[in-house]
Structure 1
Amino acid sequence: MKKTFLILNITFFGTLLGNSQTILNANGAGNTYEDINAVLAPGYNAVEVPDCIHTDFGRHIDEVFDTELNTNVFQFISHKTPDNDRCQNFDRQRVEIKTYNSSPNNLKATEGETVEYKWKFKLPSDFQVSSSFTHIHQIKAVGGPYESIPMITLTLRKANPDRIELRYTATNNQSTIQTADLDLLRGNWVEVTEIISFGNEGSYSINIDRVSNGDSILSYTNETMDTWQDGATFARPKWGVYRSLNNSEDLKDEIVRFANFSIEEIGPLSISEIKTRAEEIVLSPNPSKHIVTFKNAKADDYDAITLYTSEGKTISTENRLKKYKLDVSDLNSGLYYIAFIKSKRTVKVLKCLVD
């Protein structure tokens, strides 16, 4: 029954947000690896874990119910010892999921494509990092001379203060291009939206926002960025916890929660083209207790809208939507999202706070 539920969930969201979108959601305890593989690499293995060295513990990724999101989420579990990198490398540890050669083609980015990656994650409030790397997300090339080094990395690092780093390279010389205080993430669910137009004359955008109130934690956009490592066959995402043991005295056992993974091909568009579609629409008032107006909206900006909670659950707009106004008076206080749909594609998503 679990796999049936998961596939129906993917189909539903794919219909809602576009034919090329793939969703991976947790759906309750048990069969976690099988459920991940069924989405990211059907018939193959998209899970990289240290189970081989730590068999008495069992699986290092499981699913639990999260009371803050009010839904099931994934837990990525790393032990300071004896975990390592799949019994292959012993100076590091890896608990990750990925797409790769055996994944469906729509989960592998090729030159000229634009892809949106979205997910949520939560670090423990006492999460510890070292001065060595702790990667939680990577975009990597497959093929070519630079495939050993990620093109894009979100890594956590000990500093003053501790920080999250956005790191980048188009070759083999990675550098930090944006940072944020790690205390802004510790103990909080955050949502990441990353848009990449892949190419030597590509573009890149990432936003990390707090789920509870929509506050921005890290934001970066580059409209003229080399986002293709020469010689690559395709590029792919990885998520999880991949950390060095070089300064293991700074580390401890950790559990990082992830939820609502999404990979969507949105066509050969630049970030500026994506952002200018329905760009002028704003919500007023926001926050609101009663009626939200779509200020500056035009008839050809969108064909439909979808209202959904911060957990991704849709709310019917029947009897609450009248032209450019949305009635939110019966909704519980909290954060909601309004997605504007044009030609079966999401062109803009706005955060709506209900008092």
Structure 2
Amino acid sequence: MQVGVIRRLEGNTPRGGCFMPTLFTRRATLLAAAATPFAAGTALADVGVTAFKLRWSADPGKDGLRAFVGVEDDRSDSHPGVTHIFAEPTQYRFVMHKSDRDGSDRQRQEVRAIQMNGSRVDMKKNETWRYDYQMFIPSSLKGTSSFTHIFQVKHTSVASPVVTMSLHRTGSTENVEMRLFGAGQAKLGVTNLAPLRNKWIDVEIEVKVADGSGGRVRYSLKDGGTTIVNASRSGIDTWLGGDQAHPKWGIYRSINDSGQLQDTYLLLRNMKAYRDE
């Protein structure tokens, strides 16, 4: 047989009771393989491009708030007798009232860190994690000229967050953005908040937690099948101290931009965490 030619029998092409041989060149075989599309919904991990493994998944109807290590629901008891964080059948709800306080100058209704079967699932130094979920931001949850965070990565013993997803207002423009605190609060993936309100938005946040210039952050937002943001930055410090890092979700905001504060809420669902292995 000629070098570079593969001969096989086509078992489904009978002619005169015999199977007809078909010749394929090596080049044709490779081109055919390259042209074959992946099946819809196939993850990159399935074809060996990435190695992310599911490490946590929150089912609000089954797991409730036990999916989280800590529930910071009005921890200063500024609104006694009122619940602000709920596990509903298919989503988590975070409610914030204008009068709620976490200290004298801010508000907080957040969940802190994640756990499976009662065991913490933390980020360790030099690991890469990805958090996937969907969020619903109503018209009443405004960007502010001070800080309004709806996601954070933090260390237990360090005051500063590592990264935040923040709703920020400059003049009359409200944006959603990632802030990189190990890079002087540099902003990543700034985009207009208005078109993202009152609908479910897909969020993907990937963080390699590492010292010095070893860290990396990637952040994407999708509105249905449309990618709104897909931004990344490497060579940054994403390990600010302590022995672990963990995510936080909810509403954490300053009261300084009081004109933008309303009674409001945030919804989250389909929450998952993956570790690159």
Question: TM-score, normalization: structure 2?
Answer: 0.73
How far off is 1:235 after superposition?
Answer: 1.0
Aligned counterpart, 1:35 = 64
Q: Could you say if the C-alpha distance between residues 64 and 196 of structure 1 is closer, same or farther in structure 2, counting changes exceeding 3 Å?
A: same
1:162 pairs with 174, 191, 194, which one?
174
1:241-281 Cα distance to aligned partner (Å, 9 max, x none)? 001111222211001111122122222xxxxxxxxxxxxxx
Relative to its length, the structure with more strand (as a share) is 2
Which secondary structure does the structure 1 equivalent of 2:67 belong to?
Answer: helix
1:48-83 Cα distance to aligned partner (Å, 9 max, x none)? 011622124x21012446xxxxxx2111100001x1
How far off is 1:110 after superposition?
Answer: 0.9
How far off is 1:220 after superposition?
Answer: 1.1
Q: 2:226 & 2:191 partners in 1: Cα distance?
A: 13
Q: 1:155 & 1:80 partners in 2: Cα distance?
A: 18
Aligned counterpart, 1:54 = 79
Aligned residues: 223
2:95 pairs with 61, 77, 83, which one?
77
Aligned counterpart, 1:130 = 144
Q: Could you say if the C-alpha distance between residues 188 and 108 of structure 1 is closer, same or farther in structure 2, counting changes exceeding 3 Å?
A: same
How far off is 1:108 after superposition?
Answer: 1.1
Which secondary structure does the structure 2 equivalent of 1:227 belong to?
Answer: coil
Query: Letter of the aligned partner of 2:174 in structure 1?
Result: D
Residue 265 (structure 2) pairs with residue 255 (structure 1) = yes
Q: 1:264 & 1:177 partners in 2: Cα distance?
A: 21
Aligned counterpart, 1:220 = 231
Q: Which has the higher contact order (CA 8 A, sep 6+)?
A: 2
Question: 5 Å matches for 1:9-24?
Answer: 21-24=55-58
Asked if the contact 2:177/2:187 (under 8 Å) is kept, the reply is yes
Q: 2:249 & 2:60 partners in 1: Cα distance?
A: 14
Question: 5 Å matches for 1:199-214?
Answer: 199-200=210-211, 201-210=214-223, 213-214=224-225
Which secondary structure does the structure 2 equivalent of 1:158 belong to?
Answer: strand
Alpha-carbon RMSD across the aligned residues, in angstroms, is 2.6
1:234 pairs with 244, 262, 265, which one?
244
Unaligned runs of 5+ in 2: 1-45
Q: 1:162 & 1:91 partners in 2: Cα distance?
A: 21
How far off is 1:126 after superposition?
Answer: 4.2
Q: Could you say if the C-alpha distance between residues 207 and 35 of structure 1 is closer, same or farther in structure 2, counting changes exceeding 3 Å?
A: same
Q: 1:104 & 1:264 partners in 2: Cα distance?
A: 16
How far off is 1:138 after superposition?
Answer: 0.6
Q: 1:127 & 1:188 partners in 2: Cα distance?
A: 13
Identity of aligned residues (%): 27
Query: Letter of the aligned partner of 1:109 in structure 2?
Result: M
Q: 2:255 & 2:207 partners in 1: Cα distance?
A: 31
Unaligned runs of 5+ in 1: 1-15, 29-33, 66-71, 268-355
Q: Could you say if the C-alpha distance between residues 77 and 264 of structure 1 is closer, same or farther in structure 2, counting changes exceeding 3 Å?
A: same
Which secondary structure does the structure 2 equivalent of 1:228 belong to?
Answer: coil
How far off is 1:192 after superposition?
Answer: 0.9
Which secondary structure does the structure 2 equivalent of 1:216 belong to?
Answer: strand
Aligned counterpart, 1:198 = 209
Q: 1:135 & 1:100 partners in 2: Cα distance?
A: 18
Which secondary structure does the structure 1 equivalent of 2:143 belong to?
Answer: coil
Q: 1:218 & 1:174 partners in 2: Cα distance?
A: 18
Asked if the contact 1:96/1:238 (under 8 Å) is kept, the reply is yes
Question: 5 Å matches for 1:43-122?
Answer: 46-50=70-74, 52-56=77-81, 58-64=82-88, 72-81=90-99, 83-85=100-102, 89-99=103-113, 104-105=119-120, 107-122=121-136
Asked if the contact 2:210/2:237 (under 8 Å) is kept, the reply is yes
1:149-197 Cα distance to aligned partner (Å, 9 max, x none)? 11101110222421112111227x3232331101121112111111112
Query: Letter of the aligned partner of 1:60 in structure 2?
Result: H
Question: 5 Å matches for 1:276-291?
Answer: none
How far off is 1:115 after superposition?
Answer: 1.0
Asked if the contact 1:40/1:104 (under 8 Å) is kept, the reply is no
Q: 1:100 & 1:24 partners in 2: Cα distance?
A: 9
Q: Could you say if the C-alpha distance between residues 130 and 226 of structure 1 is closer, same or farther in structure 2, counting changes exceeding 3 Å?
A: closer
Which secondary structure does the structure 2 equivalent of 1:128 belong to?
Answer: coil
1:26 pairs with 44, 51, 60, which one?
60
Q: 1:163 & 1:112 partners in 2: Cα distance?
A: 30
